[in-house]
Chain A
Amino acid sequence: MDTQIFGIAVMYLLVVLLAIPLGRYIGKVFDYESTWLDKFFDPLDRLIFQLSGIDPRPAMSWQQSLVALLVINGWWLVISMLVLTTMGWMPLNPDGNPSMPFDLAFNTTISFVTNTNLQHYSGESALSYLGQMILMLWQFISAGTGMAIAAVVFKAMKEGLNPSLGNFYSLLVRSCTRILLPLAIVTATILAFEGVPMTFEGKGTMTTVQGETVAVSRGPAAAFVAIKQLGTNGGGFFGVNSSHPLENPTYLTNIVEDVGLFLIPIAMVFALGFMLKRRKLALTIFGVMTLGFLMLVVPAVLSELGGNPALSKLGVTQSVGSMEGKEVRLGPAASAYWAINTTVTSNGSVNAMHDSMTPLTVLTTLLGMMINCFYGGVGVGFLNFYIFIILAVFISGLMVGRTPELLGRKIEANEMKIAMGIALLHPFLILAGTALSSYLYAENPAELAGWLNNPGYHGFSELLYEFTSASANNGSGLEGLGDNTPFWNYATGLVMLLARYLPIIGPVAIAGQLAAKKYIPESEGTLRVDTGTFGILIFAVILIIASLSFFPALTLGPLAEYFSLYRS
């Protein structure tokens, strides 16, 4: 087998093999079952709650959980703004980097608290180590927020009348300390041994082969990179993210980082199966997600391995595939594989230049973010998927002549209203944002010339990608876009904010309301949601809602580029 393909097959297998026991462990953590790690973490959790003065015991309603989530996230936004706009004068700034202007701090703050990590800056020159560390804190707790709120939904889906939804604060702390922290320590240690810097010293110097001396940025990168990958954050320590030789130095670190990127999103699906004791349901969901993932990753990898036809026409042989914008140590297959991984999971870290990818890869990465639930971000990926389950249950219930019910609870007008609203939000934010920016650009081409490096279809893809990435809370960029301007900072900031919290509020409200409904035990007339047929229906609903609404936009971007490049 082709070694490039073999490499990515190994990575996928490794992820699934690790995700099953991890899912079991996550299930135990959320169900408060004992694990051998308790003796380390029980005292740590107690300390956290003693310091914060919060009682982690009382069960909370879904409304209380949401209020807690929003209030605590609100405080993080304020703290982050303060740090980013003042860090120039604060300690831990050996390179003397300046504070951020307001608009960039606004964007960066929202970006990190919402688990997006869209970066309109380069870490080397725009952040002090204090800034990097506060962002790293958000990388932990924003991921923990997603997992904790998903745990609330899992609990709401349990059998019986009014199942307890647990205590949100406690779930949040457990997510951070018991799941993210140990995984991050292991990952960071491997990365540090492979050469990723872990230091508080400022720039080092290096003599190149030509004999010139250059200053090389470094810092506490290993810790940052580990949680960046594990928490589907994606914000790089350095500007070029995991294509930077100090952020992702070897093929081995690439495997570790790629596995880390995919691990928790998949493990969360298995955790659902363990917590609800519905292994088949988890497998159905996993099957649908995997089918979708394969539909995206196969064309992307093949397209990159096939090389660029424009170069072929010039007589350039591309034996390993399209190498533009890729790292030689990683190669096209591993880069395309990462590109799809990072877009389907709302991670957003990159190990190659997405702007240089072939049109099919751009198309599939965009689709990955537009659908945003083929595995999806930690916790929130399942919440997005949950909306599609609701819609699919509704349609299929009608098709078998029964008022639709999901796991024993009837889905009625109110749930449909919320589900449809949330399903609409993502296309709305992406299409409206892209429409606004393309309108502005088409009206003022001279003034806004700095926005786009590329004219035409690819330029349109860059606009579309930026809003898609923001709305998917992904954070990757097609780049080639001059995005550090007040327009892009505020517009994408706003999109990230709406796209983070509304799709959390919606599913939690649905699950909470359903949990309070009568529980109807299954009968022969009940439509089972853990069958292949139902899986296919969810898949069809996802494709039709999530991709059909983007079809015209994709036609003008990557599809037009594809047909121009390959078919003429």
Chain B
Amino acid sequence: MATENTSLFQRDLVLEAGKQAFIKLNPARMYRNPVMFTVEIGTFIMLGVCLWILAGEQSQGTFGYNVLVFAVLLLTLLFANFAEGIAEARGKAQADSLRKTREETPARRVAAGDTLLSNNPTQISSSQLRKGDRFLCEAGDLIATDGEIVEGLATIDESAITGESAPVIREADGDKSSVTGGTKVLSDRILVEVTTQPGESFLDKMIALVEGASRQKTPNEIALTILLAGFTLVFILVTVTLKPFADFANTPITIAAFISLFVCLIPTTIGGLLSAIGIAGMDRALRANVITKSGRAVETAGDIDVLLLDKTGTITVGNRKATNFYPAPGVLDGRFREVLLLSSWSDNTPEGKSIVELAREQSAADSSGQEAPREAPVGMTFIKFTAQTRSSGVDMPDGNNGTTRIRKGASDAMRDMVEKSGHVFPGEMMDRVNEISGNGGTPLVVAVNEEVVGVIELQDIIKPGIRERFDRLRKMGVKTVMVTGDNPLTAKYIAGKAGVDDYIAEAKPEDKLEYIRREQQSGKLVAMMGDGTNDAPALAQADVGVAMNSGTQAAKEAGNMVDLDNDPTKLIEIVEIGKQLLMTRGTLTTFSIANDVAKYFAIVPALFIVAIPSLQGLNIMRLHSPESAILSAVIFNAIIIPILIPLALKGVSYKPIGASALLRQNLLKYGLGGIALPFLGIKIIDLLVSMVL
């Protein structure tokens, strides 16, 4: 807690915010916030009253009292401005630390048509790079600016951005072709094309948002501002009409009392903290290493009904592994393992590697079996996996001038192949395939010369703790959907095991888009995470699209957030940040309005008590005098703003306990608390004030 607090109010941030508090007094800036703008008008009026008294006016009370009221009102404004200032300063500091990584770095620009092997690059500074320029990076270089690899492959240390020390591989023509300015190339050589103009990167956009220059109010903020403006209008009406009422009752009321009544009643607490809350929301996203392109996206995240998650990497750990081999009837274990080893010899996919691994393991354990071959047979050609054949394998000479064709692949594709060549797919193997699928595994059918020789079982490993996270989401009212290329049986099994609510099996990018559209048509808000170019349409269609920083430029352009950590479970955090943002606004609004009850009981008796002494009965707090009562109320009103700044910046904590329970809890805490606290606070301040007066 202590460290949190020190980081909340760092010395230099406080100084900057303090300076901003005065700069923001400029009415031209102030008018954007109707509540605080009316306070500013009130402050000016009080300044006028003070001067008027100096000029000899007698009916407005003592000069000291009026100056005090003026000073407290001014303080109210400064506190509110300070709140906004500190939120901005924190956001900027966070963004600056990210931006530092991409200050002036040398870049080696090459001419437009040059390739990776170009040897006459021009040495320039990163700030001179323009969109479309290409530059070379080698091991040891800092990447000058954001871009996309057009040629080559490299390992890159992205710890400056993500804090993750393990290097990552980035290569051209894939879904992981993006590089970020400030990260370091560890090996190899790449040719990068600049994708953003200087000053227009996502980070730059985010900094501009935080600084308020381009910060648009979100729809929800607009609706809340209307509510607050409405409350302000009501109390303008109450205060203005009080003048003829008081004249009718022959009870003169001073200007200071009018202004104080008004300022205390309008929702200054939330009005003063509103923009700080919004900025802090984006800042919290940034701290989670998520760059948001608009404040609106964060807010929308809190409303998400449906979450689309990729299976691999999010729900399951990395990749599938071979767990069992099932040879066809009549095929010996040893022979089957040999076929498997051959089939996966040149297969560098994680699945392929795991097959080789398991085959070697089993050979070693099986003393009676053949020794597994250690060298690749001569003349073997590797057949790559393609989306059309959905199988891979090898072709090798059989010794009789023919070719032995070993293939492994998805059961339906293999079945097609086997049956087309006139062979029978053994029923026993089909049962095995279904059994494996039913258990959540992925069956790979292996055939030699179009005859089935056995089935490999691949299994997914579900991430520990993921089930609890989905339960948490379900309690928030968020439906989780697993997206996977697996067949429906496997998908269903994993979905059940991981506890997701729905799944899209054998998913193609269009399926995602279709699913999102369908959910949106029924009024739901959908979030998804993606990285590939073919995810771009779905990212754009989703209400919250989070692109991975490692993803392609197209994906990053399409989404409205970029996750620097490339962490697929980040969506869950983003939803909570969005909810926190809304809740902080809601609870502080409630608190602010609930405060009015006590303030009424402080000020209204003070207004009339001199002329109507029997109204002492309304002075239930037994405040010392009308002046002390009014001062106590405005002082309470002012100091509650800085007291609540930490809450505004950190946000109200969200617990997924169901909407009604959450409402009950917050209503008790901020509603009832909002009624009770000012009674106590005003009474204490009154005791102090009456000692001084």
Contacts and interface: CB of A to CB of B under 8 A. Distances in A.
B659 A525 contact: yes
A528 B664 CA distance: 12
A528 B478 CA distance: 16
Contacts of A432: 237, 241
A300 B522 CA distance: 51
B615 A559 contact: yes
Contact of A524 (B246, B476, B605, B671): B476
A401 B478 CA distance: 13
A555 B248 CA distance: 13
B615 A400 contact: no
B64 interface: no
Contacts of B238: 427, 431, 549, 551-552
Interface in B639-693: 654, 658-660, 662-664, 666-667, 670-671
A403 B220 contact: yes
Given A398-B586, A424-B234, A555 B247 contact: no
Contacts of B582: 397-398, 401-403
Interface string A475-493: 0000000000000000000
A540 interface: yes
Contacts of A408: 523
B333 interface: no
Contacts of A434: 241, 245
B596 A400 contact: no
- Most chain B CB atoms below 10 A, which of A421, A423, A438, A545: A438
Interface stretch (A130-138, A265-273, A496-504, A513-521): A513-521
- Most chain A CB atoms below 10 A, which of B245, B305, B667: B245
A329 interface: no
A413 B222 contact: yes
A564 B477 contact: no
Contacts of B299: 403
A486 B667 CA distance: 49
Interface string B589-619: 1100110110010001101100011111110
A350 to B, nearest CB: 26
Contacts of A456: 249
B237 A431 contact: yes
Nearest to B299: A403
A527 B660 contact: yes
Given A551-B604, A552-B607, A556-B245, A519 B523 contact: yes
B523 A416 contact: no
A154 interface: no
B523 A411 contact: no
Nearest to A428: B237
Contact of A400 (B478, B600, B663): B663
Interface stretch (B122-130, B224-232, B487-495): B224-232
Given A416-B223, A442-B248, A523-B479, A400 B235 contact: no
A420 B226 contact: yes
Contact of B230 (A395, A423, A540, A551): A423
Interface stretch (A225-233, A253-261, A531-539): A531-539
Interface string A418-441: 001101100110011011101101
B233 A424 contact: yes
Nearest to B585: A398
A399 interface: yes
A412 interface: yes
Given A399-B586, A560-B612, A521 B523 contact: yes
Interface in B203-260: 219-220, 222-224, 226-227, 229-230, 233-235, 237-238, 240-249, 251
B480 interface: no
Contacts of A520: 305, 522-524
A525 B616 CA distance: 48
Contacts of A396: 586, 663, 667
A518 B612 contact: no
B474 A524 contact: yes
Contacts of A420: 226-227, 229-230
Contacts of B227: 391, 394-395, 416, 420
A394 B222 CA distance: 12
A525 B615 contact: no
A169 B659 CA distance: 40
Interface string B567-591: 0000000000011111101110110
Contact of A457 (B249, B585, B613): B249
B303 interface: yes
B271 interface: no
Contact of B604 (A525, A552, A568): A552
Interface string A356-398: 0000000000000000000000000000000000010011111
B559 interface: no
A463 B247 CA distance: 14
A525 B576 CA distance: 13
B327 interface: no
B272 interface: no
B673 to A, nearest CB: 13
Contacts of A403: 220, 299, 302-303, 582
Interface string A143-166: 000000000000000000000000
B475 interface: yes
Given A435-B244, A563-B617, A412 B589 contact: no
Contact of A521 (B223, B522, B667): B522
Nearest to A414: B223
Instruction: Classify the interface of chain A: helix, strand, loop or mixed.
Output: helix
A563 B615 CA distance: 6
A39 interface: no
A424 B236 CA distance: 11
- Most chain B CB atoms below 10 A, which of A391, A403, A415: A403
Contacts of B223: 394, 411-413, 415-416
Contacts of B616: 563, 567
B586 A395 contact: yes
A533 B663 contact: yes
A399 B662 contact: yes
Contacts of A555: 604-605, 608, 615, 618
A443 B680 CA distance: 41
A567 B614 contact: yes
Contacts of B222: 413
A224 B265 CA distance: 46
Interface string A195-234: 0000000000000000000000000000000000000000
A295 interface: no
Contacts of B589: 395, 398
B247 A438 contact: yes
A525 B234 contact: no
B242 A552 contact: yes
Given A403-B303, A567-B614, A568-B614, A553 B663 contact: no
A278 interface: no
A438 B248 contact: yes
Contacts of A548: 265, 596-597, 600
Contact of A564 (B580, B612, B667): B612
A401 to B, nearest CB: 3
A280 interface: no
A66 B475 CA distance: 42
18 contacts: A395-B586, A395-B590, A402-B579, A403-B220, A403-B303, A413-B222, A434-B245, A438-B248, A442-B247, A442-B248, A460-B249, A525-B659, A533-B667, A537-B663, A552-B242, A555-B618, A563-B612, A564-B614
5 smallest CB-CB distances across A and B, nearest first, come from A525-B477, A398-B586, A401-B579, A420-B230, A518-B523
Interface of B: 219-220, 222-224, 226-227, 229-230, 233-235, 237-238, 240-249, 251, 261, 265, 299, 302-303, 305, 474-479, 521-524, 578-583, 585-587, 589-590, 593-594, 596-597, 600, 604-605, 607-608, 612-618, 654, 658-660, 662-664, 666-667, 670-671
Given A398-B589, A411-B223, A564-B614, 8 more contacts: A396-B663, A400-B662, A427-B238, A457-B249, A518-B523, A525-B659, A526-B477, A528-B660
